[in-house]
């Protein structure tokens, strides 16, 4: 009998109830075992680039909660780091980089890109061996627009004004940067699939700050380029696109990129989510703060998603990453409600 990985089945259009579940950032600071591992590791990047540690923290939420999917522990900014850009993470400030200048785009070091990312590929290989066979393994990368925002500003900003200004003032270099990131990100995802990933997800965390024309040029077109690259090598591997904040443009995004499934943020109204689900699988979209508060707020949020989207292909998830403040008992309550749901 063929092995069933229900997340893969759902992403290909099958309806399963109760739906499978995993959480974005499920291996992270809300887990005491992660905090202990991190203490012994040194920096965040030391964890990302050490397969022993990366495998361990990726497995921790699977051991504790038995999620239906596991996402490799890494970061979207390992891609520019592998291109030779400096990168560090500071507590309370997040990722910090030296802002890239327009003339530096053509000098990005492509030659050692995959060599620099070899620890990630090794982590994926080992995870596929150590995960329960029924657990879906998800590889990922950041979308070119979102990765570019950090490369240009050097840090996170509320509205990504530095990247938008760069794009308007230096359109040739910006287009070159997006195309390079799209091509290398596609290769990066292919290498993760070759190492054992069953599914890949692309995070476009800052798509919601763009106007209509820029959304298509900066988000949709690079993502379509990634999808074509991956599909040319692995036509049957599901691809999840997560254009956070896309709002009414989710439909355009799905139609023009060709992704198999849409990750929905928590602001997407149910009537829109249902319309999107009619065109294929959706993933999401519980407000992460409901998981922090627990109780009635959590129960109502979970129930609404199960009632509204449970009759179609759904991977239950949050509308963004789990926060460090989320109590473990609330995760347990959420899983109990999902897994105990009946039609």
Question: What is the per-residue pLDDT for 92?
Answer: 78
In 3D space, the residue among 147, 148, 145, 126 whose CA is nearest the CA of residue 137 turns out to be 126
Is residue 5 annotated as a catalytic residue, yes or no?
Answer: no
Is the pTM higher than 0.95? The answer reads yes
Compute the distance between CA of residue 297 and CA of residue 35 in angstroms, rounded to an integer.
Answer: 27
- Catalytic residue list contains 188: no
CB 195 within 8 A of CB 128: yes
Catalytic residue from among 49, 68, 75, 249:
75
- Closest CA relative to residue 48, chosen from 93, 79, 84: 79
Q: Pick the catalytic residue: 30, 34, 121, 150? A: 150
Rounded distance between C-alpha atoms, residue 27 and residue 62, angstroms: 9
Distance CA 316, CA 314 (A): 6
Find out whether the peptide bond into 285 is cis, omega within 30 degrees of 0: yes
CB atoms within 10 A of CB 296: 9
DSSP 8-state class, residue 280: S
Determine the distance from the C-alpha atom of residue 63 to the mean position of all C-alpha atoms in its chain, rounded to a whole number.
Answer: 21
Checking 100-109 for CB contacts under 8 A at 24+ apart, the result is 100/151, 100/152, 100/177, 102/166, 102/170, 102/173, 103/173, 105/173, 105/176, 105/177, 105/180, 106/173, 106/176, 108/83, 108/84, 108/180, 109/83, 109/84
- Print pLDDT tens along the chain (343 aa): 457 799 999 999 999 999 999 999 999 999 999 999 998 888 899 999 999 999 999 999 999 999 999 999 999 999 999 999 999 998 878 899 999 999 999 999 999 999 999 999 999 999 999 999 999 999 999 999 999 999 999 999 999 999 999 999 999 999 999 999 999 999 999 999 999 999 999 999 999 999 999 999 999 999 999 999 999 999 999 999 999 999 999 999 999 999 999 999 999 999 999 999 999 999 999 999 999 999 999 999 999 999 999 999 999 999 999 999 999 999 999 999 999 999 8
Per DSSP, 219 falls in state I
Report the SS3 class of residue 200: strand
Going from the C-alpha of 286 to that of each of 72, 304, 315, the distances in angstroms are 21, 9, 11
231 is catalytic: no
CATH for 6-339, among 3.20.20.210, 2.60.40.10, 3.40.50.2300, 3.40.190.10?
A: 3.20.20.210
Kindly list the domain boundaries of the chain, sorted by start residue.
Answer: 6-339
Q: What is the pLDDT of residue 1?
A: 46
Active site residue 191: no
For residues 232 and 282, what is the distance between their CA atoms, to the nearest angstrom? 23
Describe the strand order of the beta sheet including 69-71 as a list of residue ranges. Answer: 69-71, 136-142, 199-204, 239-243, 261-263, 281-286, 314-318
For this structure, is 49 an active site residue? no
Catalytic option among 29, 64, 125, 191:
29
The full DSSP string for 14-46 is ---SSPPB--TT-SSTTSHHHHHHHHHH-SHHH
Q: Let me know if 188 is exposed, middle or buried by CB neighbors in 10 A (0-12, 13-18, 19+).
A: buried
- What is the per-residue pLDDT for 118? 98
Reported in sequence order, the residue ranges of the chain that DSSP labels E, i.e. its strands, are 69-71, 88-90, 94-96, 136-142, 199-204, 239-243, 261-263, 281-286, 314-318
Catalytic residue among 5, 30, 34, 38: 38
Among candidate residues 145, 136, 151, 141, the one with its CA nearest the CA of residue 121: 141
């Amino acid at each position: 009998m063929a092995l069933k990985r229900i997340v893969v089945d759902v992403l290909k259009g099958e309806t399963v109830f109760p739906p499978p579940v995993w959480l974005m950032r499920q291996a992270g600071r809300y887990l005491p075992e992660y905090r202990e591992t991190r203490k012994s590791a040194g920096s965040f990047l030391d964890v990302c680039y050490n397969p022993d540690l990366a495998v361990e923290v990726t497995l921790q939420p699977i051991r504790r909660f038995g999620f239906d999917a596991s996402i490799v522990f890494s970061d979207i900014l390992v891609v520019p780091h592998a291109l030779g850009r400096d990168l560090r993470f500071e507590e309370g400030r997040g990722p910090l980089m030296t802002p890239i200048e327009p003339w530096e785009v053509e000098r990005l070091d492509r030659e050692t890109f995959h060599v620099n990312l070899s620890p990630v590929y090794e982590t994926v290989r080992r995870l596929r061996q150590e995960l329960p066979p029924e657990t879906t393994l998800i590889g990922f990368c950041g979308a070119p627009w979102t990765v570019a925002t950090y490369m240009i500003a050097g840090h996170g900003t509320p509205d990504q004004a530095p990247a938008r200004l760069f794009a308007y003032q230096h359109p040739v270099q910006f287009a070159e940067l997006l195309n390079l990131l799209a091509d290398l990100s596609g290769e990066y995802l292919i290498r993760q699939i070759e190492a054992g990933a069953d599914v890949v997800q692309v995070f476009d965390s800052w798509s919601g700050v763009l106007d209509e024309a820029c959304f298509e040029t900066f988000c949709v077109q690079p993502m379509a380029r990634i999808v074509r690259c991956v599909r040319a090598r692995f036509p049957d591997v599901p691809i999840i696109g997560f254009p956070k904040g896309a709002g009414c443009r989710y439909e355009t995004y799905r139609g023009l990129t060709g992704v198999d499934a849409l990750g929905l943020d928590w602001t997407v109204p149910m009537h829109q989510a249902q319309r999107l689900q009619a065109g294929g699988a959706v993933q999401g979209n519980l407000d992460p703060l409901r998981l922090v508060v627990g109780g009635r707020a959590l129960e109502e949020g979970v129930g609404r998603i199960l009632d509204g989207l449970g009759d179609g292909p759904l991977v239950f998830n949050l509308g963004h990453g789990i926060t460090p403040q989320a109590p473990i008992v609330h995760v347990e309550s959420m899983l109990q409600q999902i897994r105990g749901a009946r039609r």
